[in-house]
């Protein structure tokens, strides 16, 4: 325990935490979720979820990791011998996500290469599904590996596991110190170009125009909480793991605010960039913004290639910058997810980091090959749906209820955080974690089970 790995600098930790947070969720998930759930009005439930659940849980996880100095299972075990399972639950969710997150990064690598000559052609949808993913309805073929996906996938795992093998300071910290500033610069270039395209104003209008009726609907609040949890990488055991490598003297409350607001700032930037580009494309094709909006795989790999096709100049360069941003954002998140199970396994079984990386990363990379087969997209959709519906917010709910009500640890954790932080936690923190968040999440889960199972 004395020679536990440590971050070299405060900035290193913040960049790693922000690197985990900023990911595909910011670039392709947030803009579409906001648009579908009230546009400008979505910011009300979104900010509410950020301030009452996102940042308070981030502070909670940073404090747990810092105080108990262990991966999530070990930290919960040290909090209470009966609670180790809570850490494993987050680890397992993180593990599942890592298997398909890696595949999407592999696609983005291929597409940053295709971007140079726009080799996706004019029918970008047919290109993605037929030419690139080689999706087939023939069940006899769904198991065959698609080399175009498989090769970049190997690269993704070599980079990720290589970074983890190099350790916390020399690997994770160093990688994020390169990836995150680069990502911000690349992304700023794209966003500045996007907002100056013709039609951008209509896109932004569509994005920001508030539909206030929407915020009385429960599903909009579910969407806001889901976005905050996924986007901040909370309730995945990740932030506990990362903060367990903090030095004794660390302003964790402040770090949590920086991470939370940094992630949201990037999310807003992505929304502005994506909707400017959508407005441009709608104008070029004589459609309304609403007709071209999409999110997820469709936005990044079908619509964005079309936007790049329409670009007035430097198509290859901007296409490359966009997909390279996806790769950098994705890799820094994948590194954090993988570190979570590597740390968990290595501490549980008392094996070295190297062994844990090879075993954990090995299993995860082998499973991920399933998604690089001709039926891969179907598995990927299923895994993503399952995780989002039943994984994230549910773990978050159980986590706050256990800490606040079963173990009644909030006071101890509060004084731990206050002892080392400039900002002193007041009643708001305990009120958010003890009352507001359990009530809102509890209601959400009840509603979910009602609509899904009854």
Minimum separation from the CB atom of position 408 to ligand PHE (A) = 28
Minimum separation from the CB atom of position 430 to ligand PHE (A) = 26
Q: Does 238 interact with ligand PHE (rule: CB under 6 A)?
A: yes
Q: Does 231 interact with Na ion (rule: CB under 5 A)?
A: yes
Integer Cα distance of 379 and 100 in angstroms: 9
Minimum separation from the CB atom of position 23 to ligand PHE (A) = 2
Q: Which does 245 bind (CB under 5 to 8 A by kind): Na ion, ligand PHE, none?
A: none
Output 8 or 296, the one with its CB closest to ligand PHE: 296
Minimum separation from the CB atom of position 235 to ligand PHE (A) = 9
Q: Which does 75 bind (CB under 5 to 8 A by kind): Na ion, ligand PHE, none?
A: none
Minimum separation from the CB atom of position 236 to ligand PHE (A) = 5
Q: Would you list the DSSP string of 35-61?
A: HHTTBGGGHHHHHHHIIIIIHHHHHHH
Q: Which among 323, 413, 379, 307 has a CA at the least distance from the CA of 142?
A: 379
Output 23 or 271, the one with its CB closest to Na ion: 23
User: Considering only residues 19, 25, 271, 375, which one is a binding residue for ligand PHE as defined by CB under 6 A?
Assistant: 25
Instruction: Name the one range near Na ion by CB under 5 A: 25-33, 78-86, 88-96, 279-287.
Output: 25-33
Binding mask 41-80 for ligand PHE (x = CB under 6 A): ----------------------------------------
Instruction: Name the one range near ligand PHE by CB under 6 A: 23-31, 130-138, 351-359, 424-432.
Output: 23-31
Integer Cα distance of 325 and 306 in angstroms: 17
Minimum separation from the CB atom of position 244 to Na ion (A) = 21
Q: Which among 375, 392, 309, 350 has a CA at the least distance from the CA of 93?
A: 392
Q: Which does 437 bind (CB under 5 to 8 A by kind): ligand PHE, Na ion, none?
A: none
Q: What are phi and psi of 415, to 5 degrees?
A: -70, -30
Q: Does 325 interact with Na ion (rule: CB under 5 A)?
A: no
Minimum separation from the CB atom of position 25 to Na ion (A) = 4
Size of the site for ligand PHE (CB under 6 A): 16
Tokens of 125: 């949808």
Question: What's the angle, vertex CA 110, arms to CA 105 and CA 112, rounded to 5?
Answer: 90
Q: What are phi and psi of 217, to 5 degrees?
A: -90, 135
Helix, strand, coil % over all residues of the chain, rounded to 5? 80, 0, 20
Do the beta carbons of residue 56 and residue 438 sit within 8 Å? no
Size of the site for Na ion (CB under 5 A): 5
Q: Does 97 interact with ligand PHE (rule: CB under 6 A)?
A: yes
Over the range 324-335, which residues count as b (16 or more CB within 10 Å of their CB) and which as e? Answer: bbbbbbbbbbbb
Integer Cα distance of 52 and 97 in angstroms: 25
Question: What's the angle, vertex CA 154, arms to CA 152 and CA 160, rounded to 5?
Answer: 105
Integer Cα distance of 364 and 93 in angstroms: 12
Tokens of 316: 């290859």
Tokens of 245: 């490598």
Tokens of 454: 């009854």
Binding mask 197-236 for ligand PHE (x = CB under 6 A): ---------------------------------xx-x--x
Integer Cα distance of 203 and 272 in angstroms: 9
User: Considering only residues 15, 16, 24, 25, which one is a binding residue for Na ion as defined by CB under 5 A?
Assistant: 25
Minimum separation from the CB atom of position 101 to Na ion (A) = 12
Integer Cα distance of 102 and 106 in angstroms: 6
Q: Which does 342 bind (CB under 5 to 8 A by kind): Na ion, ligand PHE, none?
A: none
Q: Does 179 interact with ligand PHE (rule: CB under 6 A)?
A: no
Integer Cα distance of 388 and 106 in angstroms: 21
Rounded alpha-carbon distances, angstroms, from residue 285 to 166, 288, 290, 376, 431: 49, 9, 13, 31, 50
Q: Which does 56 bind (CB under 5 to 8 A by kind): Na ion, ligand PHE, none?
A: none
| Nearest residue to Na ion, scored by beta-carbon proximity | 231
Output 239 or 277, the one with its CB closest to ligand PHE: 239
Output 53 or 281, the one with its CB closest to ligand PHE: 53
User: Considering only residues 14, 16, 17, 21, which one is a binding residue for Na ion as defined by CB under 5 A?
Assistant: 21
Integer Cα distance of 171 and 46 in angstroms: 34
Q: Does 333 interact with ligand PHE (rule: CB under 6 A)?
A: yes
Q: Does 21 interact with ligand PHE (rule: CB under 6 A)?
A: yes
Q: Summarize as ranges the residues that interact with ligand PHE (CB under 6 A).
A: 20-21, 23-26, 94, 97, 230-231, 233, 236, 238, 333, 336-337
Q: Summarize as ranges the residues that interact with Na ion (CB under 5 A).
A: 21, 23, 25-26, 231
């Amino acid at each position: 325990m004395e020679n536990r790995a440590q971050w070299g600098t405060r900035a290193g930790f913040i960049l790693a935490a922000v690197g985990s947070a900023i990911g595909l969720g910011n670039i392709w998930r947030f803009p579409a979720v906001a648009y579908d759930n009230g546009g400008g009005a979505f910011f009300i439930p979104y900010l509410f979820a950020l301030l009452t659940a996102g940042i308070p849980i981030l502070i909670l996880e940073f404090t747990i990791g810092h105080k108990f100095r262990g991966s999530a299972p070990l930290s919960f075990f040290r909090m209470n011998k009966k609670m180790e399972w809570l850490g494993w639950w987050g680890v397992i969710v993180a593990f599942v996500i890592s298997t398909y997150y890696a595949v999407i990064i592999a696609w983005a690598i291929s597409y940053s290469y295709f971007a140079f000559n726009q080799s996706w052609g004019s029918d970008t949808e047919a290109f993605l599904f037929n030419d690139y993913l080689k999706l087939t309805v023939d069940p006899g073929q769904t198991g065959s590996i698609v080399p175009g996906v498989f090769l970049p996938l190997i690269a993704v795992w070599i980079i990720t596991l290589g970074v983890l093998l190099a350790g916390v300071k020399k690997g994770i910290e160093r990688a994020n110190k390169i990836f995150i500033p680069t990502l911000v610069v690349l992304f700023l270039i794209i966003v500045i170009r996007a907002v100056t395209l013709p039609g951008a104003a209509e896109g932004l209008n569509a994005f920001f125009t508030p539909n206030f009726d929407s915020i009385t609907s429960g599903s909009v609040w579910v969407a806001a909480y889901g976005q905050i949890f996924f986007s901040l990488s909370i309730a995945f055991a990740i932030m506990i793991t990362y903060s367990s490598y903090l030095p004794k003297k660390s302003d964790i409350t402040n770090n949590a605010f920086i991470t939370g607001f940094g992630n949201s700032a990037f999310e807003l930037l992505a929304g502005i960039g994506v909707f400017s580009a959508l407005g441009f494309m709608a104008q070029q094709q004589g459609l309304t913004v609403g007709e071209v909006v999409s999110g997820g795989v469709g936005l990044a790999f079908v619509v964005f290639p079309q936007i790049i096709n329409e670009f007035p100049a430097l198509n290859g360069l901007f296409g490359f910058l966009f997909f390279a941003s996806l790769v950098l954002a994705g890799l820094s998140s994948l590194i954090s997810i993988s570190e979570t199970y590597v740390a968990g396994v290595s501490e549980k079984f008392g094996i070295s980091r190297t062994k844990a990386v090879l075993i954990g990363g090995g299993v995860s990379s082998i499973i991920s090959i399933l998604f690089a087969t001709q039926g891969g997209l179907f598995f990927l959709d299923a895994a993503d749906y399952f995780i989002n519906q039943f994984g994230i917010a549910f773990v978050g709910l159980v986590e706050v209820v256990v800490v606040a009500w079963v173990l009644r640890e909030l006071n101890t954790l509060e004084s731990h955080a206050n002892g080392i932080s400039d900002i002193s936690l007041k009643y708001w923190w305990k009120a958010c974690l003890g009352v507001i968040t359990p009530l809102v999440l509890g209601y959400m889960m009840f509603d979910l089970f009602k609509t899904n199972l009854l």
